[in-house]
Structure 1
Amino acid sequence: MKVLIIEDEKPSARRLQRMLEKLGVTTQHMLHSVSEAIQWFNNNTHPDLILLDIQLSDGLSFEIFDAVEVKSAIIFTTAFDEYALQAFKLNSIDYLLKPIDDDELQAAVEKYKKVKPQANNVQLNFEDIKKLLSNPVEREYKKRFTTKIGQHIKMISVDEIECFYSENKGTYAHTVEGRDYLLDTTLEELEEELEPQTFFRISRKYFININAIKDIISYTNSRLQLKLNSYKDQEVIVARERVKDFKVWLE
């Protein structure tokens, strides 16, 4: 079974790919916009199954199917509230509400396998779904984290956090006050929870708050070194494969 991911947020697409790999499912390709998807479908063999984000950077993903006849089965991945999604159960394999849960993804894939012969001939009524989504709900991102200090629970606003980093299998938040707090989460989970205009994952180790960047310096092997306002424990390096996306994010 080959799966195509259409998702405009690249960290979310990569996380979904990793989740599928754990299920033994091969991702044929990842696409990030309506225009990119139309071009790809016109030049490639269509996959068995599409995991489709509804709202892409350049429009609703339904526009893809106005331009191309796609025979693949579809599982929607979306941040829209559940009340607006009832039509999807009649017109697709399933929908997954973000942030996507491992068990729900597995259940959706298993559902596809059971109804595969019929699934690839589903005729989606996109016009009805568009009407339901005429007033989209704005995506909610995490505004605070909690950490345990002795017998106390401390709340940390995301505005106070300069960066998140992993160390010794733990995930830490470094605050503007220069304090470090151990959190009950992972950097992979943070990819779904942090507001992408403010936070960017520069490497496997770091998530950076754009407001904490003090200086950016050219580094070896086409990488970049960041100087933050208060975090000075270790060198903060933008991985080479993330440099291009990092520069786009800065703008």
Structure 2
Amino acid sequence: MNVLIIEDERPSARRLQRMLEKLDVTVNQQLHSVEESIDWFSNNEQPDLIFLDIQLSDGLSFEIFETIDIRSAIIFTTAFDEYALQAFKLNSIDYLLKPIDEDDLEIAVKKYREFSPKKQRLQVDFEDIKKLLINPVEREYKKRFTTKIGQHIKMIPIDEIECFYSENKGTYAHTVEGRNYLLDTTLEQLEGEISPEVFFRISRKYYINVNAIKDIISYTNSRLELKLNSYTEQPVIVAREKVKDFKFWLE
């Protein structure tokens, strides 16, 4: 089985690869952007199976298929709700809602192994996907997080959080009051739990609340530095590969 992962979040791609290896599935290649994927498909034989993230750092992944005639089977990996995916779920092997669950992944791989690509070519209507991304089905996101302080449980409303950040293998929420709270989660697990209209992951370290941005400054190597209302612990830098998508998100 020749397997390809297309995922812009490199930690998520590595995690998925480790999970697949436990299922005796060997990943032959990881790609992280639309541009990189188009170049790769133009110069390589198509894989048997693609694990495909819909939103990549430089655009939406259906842009790849507007250029390349894809014949591979596809398993979607996405933060979009299952109801929004019903329109095209039957045309793919399966989809995995992030954060990916090991049992769901095993079921998806089993479905692929029972699928015969030689007898049936996969047809996916990417125009339908595009419409769903522009007008996604309304879904509920977390309204608050909890953290333990001594013997007490504190609730933190989502609209009081300026940013989420990782440090020393922990994930923290920084609030408008200037306080930092350790959470029992990871930045990867936050995907799909917090509104993408409000929060954007600018790097492997930060998720930023758009309402907390006080200033945006040009930084070295085509990056951007963000000044937030109260968070001043460390420079908040938009990764170079995220800059284009970040500017699009701001608009």
Mark the CA change 1:102 to 1:26 in structure 2 (over 3 Å): closer, same or farther. farther
Q: Residue 191 of structure 2: SS of its match in structure 1?
A: helix
Give the SS at the match of 2:192. Answer: helix
Equivalences, count:
237
In 2, the alpha carbon distance for the partners of 1:19 and 1:94 equals 19
Across the aligned residues of Structure 1 and Structure 2, the Cα RMSD in angstroms comes to 4.1
Deviation (angstroms), 1:241: 3.1
User: Structure 1 residues 60, 224: CA separation in 2 closer, same or farther (over 3 Å shift)?
Assistant: closer
Q: Secondary structure at the match of 2:171?
A: strand
Given the alignment of the two structures, is residue 209 of structure 1 paired with residue 205 of structure 2, yes or no?
no
Q: Which residue of 1 aligns with 2:24?
A: none
Pick the aligned partner of 2:13 from 7, 17, 23: 17
Q: Contact 1:20–1:27 at 8 Å: present in 2 too? A: no
In the TM superposition, residue 30 of structure 1 has moved relative to its aligned partner by: 5.4
Report the CA distance between 1:74 and its aligned residue.
3.1
- How has the CA–CA distance of structure 1 residues 27 and 19 changed in structure 2, closer, same or farther, with 3 Å as cutoff? farther
Identity %: 65
The equivalent residue for 1:246 is 246
Following the alignment from structure 1 to structure 2, what is the Cα–Cα distance between the partners of residues 76 and 242?
21
Q: Deviations over 1:154-186 (max 9, x none)?
A: 221221100111122111100011111110011
Matches of 2:138 and 2:84, distance apart in 1: 14
Match of residue 26 from structure 1 = 28
Contact 1:46 1:72 (8 Å CA) reproduced = yes
CA contact (8 A) 1:20 1:26 kept: no
* 1:186-210: CA deviation from partner (whole Å, max 9, x where unpaired): 1122233222222122222221111
What is the identity, as a one-letter code, of the residue corresponding to 1:194? Answer: I
Deviation at 1:214, TM superposition (A): 0.9
Distance 1:233-1:170 versus aligned 2 partners, 3 A rule: same
| C-alpha distance 169-80 of structure 1, shift in aligned 2 (>3 A) | closer
Task: Please state if 1:171 is matched with 2:171.
Answer: yes
Q: TM-score, normalised on structure 1?
A: 0.70
- How big is the shift at 1:150? 1.9
SS state at 1:177 partner: coil
Aligned to 2:119: 121
State the AA in 1 paired with 2:15: M
- In structure 2, the residue matched to 1:74 is 74
Conserved? CA contact 2:147–2:182, under 8 Å = yes
Name stretches of at least 5 consecutive residues in structure 2 with no aligned partner.
22-26
Cα shift at 1:87: 9.2
- What is the TM-score normalised by the length of structure 2? 0.70
| C-alpha separation in 1, matches of 2:140 and 2:11 | 18
- Residue 102 of structure 1 aligns with which residue? 102
Query: What is the distance in 1 between the residues matched to 2:233 and 2:55?
Result: 39
Q: Residue type of the partner of 1:122?
A: Q
Do the aligned partners of residues 70 and 166 (structure 1) sit closer, same or farther apart at CA in structure 2, a change above 3 Å counting? closer
Q: 1:60 to 1:247 in 2, by over 3 A?
A: closer
**Structure 1 residues 172 and 100 mapped into 2: Cα distance closer, same or farther (>3 Å)?**
same
Amino acid at match of 1:215: D
Relative CO higher for 1 or 2, CA cutoff 8 Å, sep ≥ 6? 2
Any unmatched runs of 5+ in structure 1? none
CA distance in 2 between partners of 1:202 and 1:3 (Å): 28
